[in-house]
Amino acid sequence: MTGIPHYPMYIDGRWRDASSSLEVRDPATNELVATVAQGDVTVADEAVAAAKAAHACGVWRMTPPDERARILDAIADNLAARFDELTALQVRENGATARSAGAFLLGYSIAHLKYFASLARSYAFEESGLLIEAPTLAAGVLRREPVGVCAGIVPWNFPLLLAVWKLGPALAAGNTIVLKPDDQTPLTLLELARAADEVGLPAGVLNVVTGPGQVVGARLAEHPDVRKVAFTGSTEVGKTVMRAAAGNVKKVTLELGGKGANIVCDDADLDLAVDGTLFGFLLMCGQACESGTRLLLHESIHDEFVRRLVARASTLVVGNPMDPTTDIGPLISAKQKARVEKYIALGQEAGCKVAFQGTVPAEAGLADGHWVAPTILTGATNDMRVAREEIFGPVLVVIKCADDAEAVAIANDSEYGLSAGVWSADNERALAIARELESGTVWINDWHMVNAMFPFGGMKQSGLGRELGPRALDEYTEQKFVHVDMTNDRAKRVYAVVVSAAATA
């Protein structure tokens, strides 16, 4: 395997290898990209011990927030300086197209790290001088302190970005963290560790352990020294993490699945909505939890909209993700391909019509990739499995509705509540619909626009807590109230209700 890079893990400021390895393969070609040390429970425990020691000695939590911000900025700058190299690595690691890897995965990761640095500078870590007048004169201090050792469990679809959403607030708030990437996509997280190491993040503050989720992820979720776990992934595994976290009552943030309802009103700019609908369900070949995968069309525009959607979809290029002209890349794995194909068959069995199915690349070199053609299923109803379950692939189901009220009812008839969208020329109408939707994010005349200054997360079974936004550090801090008596007068003390002032005089 000459020329194939090998990545050790990053623990306590050192690169740590293991006796067995994982293989990372390019989803477009199935070629071996790298081998990676395979961690286990022992290594997970080592990483937690390193993070615990770094927290206890105060090397990071006692570093002033401005200095913590400077280091987070420096990590972001280090990633930016390697933008092209890391974009290419991201493409090879998980099949993101070069365009989306650059703009979303790298671009957002860098910008969001800088946002968390700005939060470190502005966050109210201590508010003192709070005057308490009753029942006694006292001063109050409200402190927000780091929780300690955090664990971040990250999926394969946006590995670097979703790691930044955990590492950024954790480190801005003064915690230490152990990150666990998905075993299919550990490379960009290990490059994130390299960046942190190069800019001088103290040893033990960030640790990356690679290995199977059911072993390493499960250990981190239940570890008694981990005080907070942030998880992004499937709803099913999220519930397992939540149950494991109950063992020592960890703080928990969960970003889980979705079945985004995309409502196109009868007054929408149809061509704009067509492009937005395709973008909404095809970014990352549909492997994005916030995708718009249920298209709810008003009856009056249904046929014309589907006609335009199919015409536009047929212009999209599915192919080599490294080519900047490619619109859609492969799925992550053979397993994911089989899952998506199963759902396309299930939709047809339930009575859906395949209104569009694109092509997959036939060129040499891509034959062993995990390709599924973009597929539009019309004639769906909201009780079908293709409308209720997360497919996580390039599949759109189209459902007719009579009016805005029915569109809202169908949109909300889901166990998920992560994302939704409304297309209308009338902002008041769209906002009225948005107010009724049970969804953590609603886009009006747009999709996928995640803004670091606003919280991201799901309602219902799409998650718990929020990442991003001005309160992001709240999820990584404990509040402590310190009461300082100002009277120095024994007679006035309220504990005289138990111990009389006279008796203690």
Residues annotated as catalytic (active site), given as ranges? 255, 289
Single out the residue of 18, 37, 154, 297 in contact with ligand NAD (rule: CB under 6 A). 154
| Cα of 140 vs its chain's centroid, Å | 36
Peptide bond preceding 135 in cis form (omega within 30 of 0) = yes
By CB under 6 A, the residues from 385 to 424 that bind ligand NAD are 390, 392, 418
Site string for ligand NAD, 460-499 (x = CB under 6 A): ---x------------------------------------
In the complex, minimum distance from the CB of residue 212 to ligand NAD, in angstroms, rounded to a whole number? 6
Site string for ligand NAD, 417-456 (x = CB under 6 A): -x--------------------------------------
Residue 204 sits in the site that holds ligand NAD (CB under 6 A) = no
* E strands present in 244-301: 251-255, 260-264, 292-298
Output 108 or 156, the one with its CB closest to ligand NAD: 156
Q: Which of 98, 109, 255 is nearest to 188 (CA)?
A: 109
In the complex, minimum distance from the CB of residue 157 to ligand NAD, in angstroms, rounded to a whole number? 5
Q: How far apart are CA 140 and CA 486, in angstroms?
A: 10
Q: How far apart are CA 461 and CA 308, in angstroms?
A: 34
In the DSSP assignment, the letter for residue 456 is B
In the complex, minimum distance from the CB of residue 210 to ligand NAD, in angstroms, rounded to a whole number? 10
In the complex, minimum distance from the CB of residue 456 to ligand NAD, in angstroms, rounded to a whole number? 7
Radius of gyration of the chain (CA): 25
Residue 47 sits in the site that holds ligand NAD (CB under 6 A) = no
Output the six-digit token pair for 245.
Answer: 């976290």
Residue 76 sits in the site that holds ligand NAD (CB under 6 A) = no
Site string for ligand NAD, 351-390 (x = CB under 6 A): ---------------------------------------x
Work out the end-to-end distance of the chain between its first and last CA atoms, rounded to an integer number of angstroms.
84
Single out the residue of 182, 327, 404, 475 in contact with ligand NAD (rule: CB under 6 A). 182
Q: Is 245 helix (H, G, I), strand (E, B) or coil?
A: helix
Binding span for ligand NAD by CB under 6 A among 123-131, 253-261, 307-315, 443-451: 253-261
Single out the residue of 94, 175, 207, 240 in contact with ligand NAD (rule: CB under 6 A). 240
| 162 contacts 155 by C-beta, under 8 angstroms | yes
Single out the residue of 48, 120, 153, 408 in contact with ligand NAD (rule: CB under 6 A). 153
- Residues 6+ positions from 370 with CB-CB distance below 8 Å: 27, 30, 95, 330, 331, 332, 333, 334, 336, 337
Q: How far apart are CA 401 and CA 52, in angstroms?
A: 54
Binding span for ligand NAD by CB under 6 A among 31-39, 153-161, 273-281, 446-454: 153-161
Sheet containing 228-232: order of strands: 14-16, 9-11, 206-208, 176-180, 149-153, 228-232, 251-255, 463-464
Phi, psi (rounded to 5 degrees) for 45: -65, -40
Q: How far apart are CA 369 and CA 57, in angstroms?
A: 48
Binding span for ligand NAD by CB under 6 A among 60-68, 198-206, 209-217, 270-278: 209-217
Helices 65-81/107-122 angle, 10° precision: 170
Total residues in contact with ligand NAD, by rule CB under 6 A: 29
Q: Is 491 exposed, middle or buried (0-12, 13-18, 19+ CB in 10 A)?
A: exposed
Output 90 or 157, the one with its CB closest to ligand NAD: 157
Pseudo-torsion of CA 468, 470, 472, 474, nearest 10°? -170
| 103 contacts 448 by C-beta, under 8 angstroms | no
Q: What angle do CA 205, 194, 215 make, to 5 degrees?
A: 65
In the complex, minimum distance from the CB of residue 284 to ligand NAD, in angstroms, rounded to a whole number? 9
In the complex, minimum distance from the CB of residue 127 to ligand NAD, in angstroms, rounded to a whole number? 32
Binding span for ligand NAD by CB under 6 A among 91-99, 255-263, 266-274, 426-434: 255-263
Residue 93 sits in the site that holds ligand NAD (CB under 6 A) = no
Single out the residue of 213, 286, 321, 330 in contact with ligand NAD (rule: CB under 6 A). 213
Helical spans, DSSP H, in 58-106: 65-81, 83-94, 98-100
Output 36 or 297, the one with its CB closest to ligand NAD: 36
Single out the residue of 214, 325, 487, 500 in contact with ligand NAD (rule: CB under 6 A). 214
Q: How far apart are CA 402 and CA 379, in angstroms?
A: 14
Residue 289 sits in the site that holds ligand NAD (CB under 6 A) = yes
Binding span for ligand NAD by CB under 6 A among 66-74, 236-244, 323-331, 496-504: 236-244
Single out the residue of 221, 395, 420, 437 in contact with ligand NAD (rule: CB under 6 A). 221
Output 321 or 393, the one with its CB closest to ligand NAD: 393
Site string for ligand NAD, 323-342 (x = CB under 6 A): --------------------
Residues within the interface to ligand NAD (CB under 6 A): 153-157, 180, 182-183, 213-214, 217-218, 221, 232-234, 237, 240-241, 255-258, 289, 390, 392, 418, 458, 463
